[in-house]
Amino acid sequence: MTSNALPATAPDRATDRATTTRPLPRALARMLSLDDFEAAARKRLPRPIFGYVVGAAEDNQSLQDNRRAFAQYGFAPRVLVDVSHRTTQTELFGRTYAAPFGIAPMGISALSAYRGDVVQARAAREANIPAILSGTSLIALEDVIQEAPGTWFQAYLPGDPAKIDALVERARRAGYETLVLTVDIPVSANRENNVRTGFSTPLKPSLRLAWDGLTRPRWLAGTFLRTLLAHGMPHFENSFATRGAPIVSASVLRDFTARDHLSWEHVARIRRQWPGTLIIKGILHPHDAALARQHGADGIIVSNHGGRQLDGAISPLRALPAMVDAAGGMTVMMDSGVRRGGDVLKALALGARFVFVGRPFNYASAVGGQAGVAHAINLLRAEVDRNMAMLGINNVREMDASLLWCDGLPSASGPLP
């Protein structure tokens, strides 16, 4: 990949100040943190759509523990360090990104915002951070990469080897250089929340769904009807080498089954075929991290799918140290539960090279389109920069466990009183 680096000194922050001082629409000016977007999106999105995004599996144990894990670590900052030349830039797979975080894949984002996948990918490209297009997106992968070169593609592997080959080849021909294989979905999760909020796959028209749309007129006109008029009924575009089923088709369920026999042999097959960067997403066990390295993966994303698959699965932050040890120098990243710049830095301190954030950027697109996503990126990057200054570091590579405190975790200064 070619480098798209920004200057690595004070001009970074001058650029940030110029960006953040531009007048924002009133709705975005009230957004002071990533969590603010969630509250605003709840008011804007129909109940089933918001329920799909916010929900997780069964009792939400993993979802809640993802946040709880971050709260159990504290910072042990250094002071009187010259941090006037700090930078949030991060090297990853031969490219320099503006910050150590990117946008995680989120399915059916085009139901949250008009052309939601394009909106997020374009905002990420302009901010010089990576975005990962979901395999369950409703916009063709070719359209997204054309709008935002450098986007990564996340594949949910079909059950048939020939279909796997065809999908991987399609992504290669489209110009993707980074392929992310999500491997934690051998079967569909038990997402009771979807049922309770009225969301279903396929999406079933009903009086309740119609009422939810009518009571959210900005979403109805600006997202759903606009999509129908400009592009027709949304389809799952990227599950196979050919166009998938429309979101209202009964065949949708069939398209997302037959994954329970997938194995590391399929990863080896893809590694032989894929010439670019290959990442395995959805790993939580150190043995699987070692297997990913043995099968030629360039990196892994430690993830419990945002709590949306196996309820009770360990939080990625808790899993990180053992995963880094098992990776043997392979690039380790993580997602699930990241909401603040401090969360990003805690993950880096425990060995992650990079983190990804999902739901908040989906909410940001629903609230403010591309401008909303750009604002969310700026907020998170500003938090990272501010926290680096108060921690006494100039580069994200300096963030390590000596700057953290937790029961049982060694610290350079020893446990704090």
Distance CA 198, CA 215 (A): 15
Mean pLDDT for the chain overall: 90
Instruction: Quickly state the pLDDT bin for 242 (edges 50, 70, 90).
Output: confident
Catalytic residue among 85, 266, 287, 305: 305
pLDDT at 194: 87
Residue 190, number of CB atoms within 10 A of its CB: 14
Catalytic residue flag (residue 261): no
What's the average model confidence in pLDDT over 280-307? Answer: 97
Q: Which residue has the higher pLDDT, 8 or 148?
A: 148
pLDDT at residue 18 greater than cutoff 60: no
Q: Long-range contact list for 129-132, CB < 8 A, 24+ apart? A: 129/97, 129/98, 129/99, 129/101, 129/102, 129/103, 129/377, 130/92, 130/97, 130/102, 130/103, 130/178, 131/102, 131/103, 132/102, 132/103, 132/104, 132/105, 132/180, 132/356
Rg (CA), the chain: 21
Instruction: Quickly state the pLDDT bin for 386 (edges 50, 70, 90).
Output: very high
Q: Are 90 and 354 in contact (CB under 8 A)?
A: yes
What's the average model confidence in pLDDT over 165-177? Answer: 97
- 277: tokens are 């960067």
Residue list, annotated binding site for FMN: 105-107, 134, 154, 182, 281, 303, 335-339, 358-359
Residue list, annotated binding site for glyoxylate: 52, 156, 191, 305, 308
Give the Å distances, CA to CA, from 241 to 165, 172, 275, 355: 9, 11, 18, 29
Q: Are 333 and 325 in contact (CB under 8 A)?
A: no
For helices 47-54 and 207-214, the axis angle rounded to 10 degrees is 90
Residue list, annotated binding site: 52, 105-107, 134, 154, 156, 182, 191, 281, 303, 305, 308, 335-339, 358-359
pLDDT in tens, 25-84: 888 999 999 999 999 999 999 999 999 999 999 999 999 999 999 999 999 999 999 999
pLDDT at 331: 98
- The full set of domains in the chain, from first to last, is 45-405 (3.20.20.70)
pLDDT at 199: 87
Distance CA 334, CA 356 (A): 6
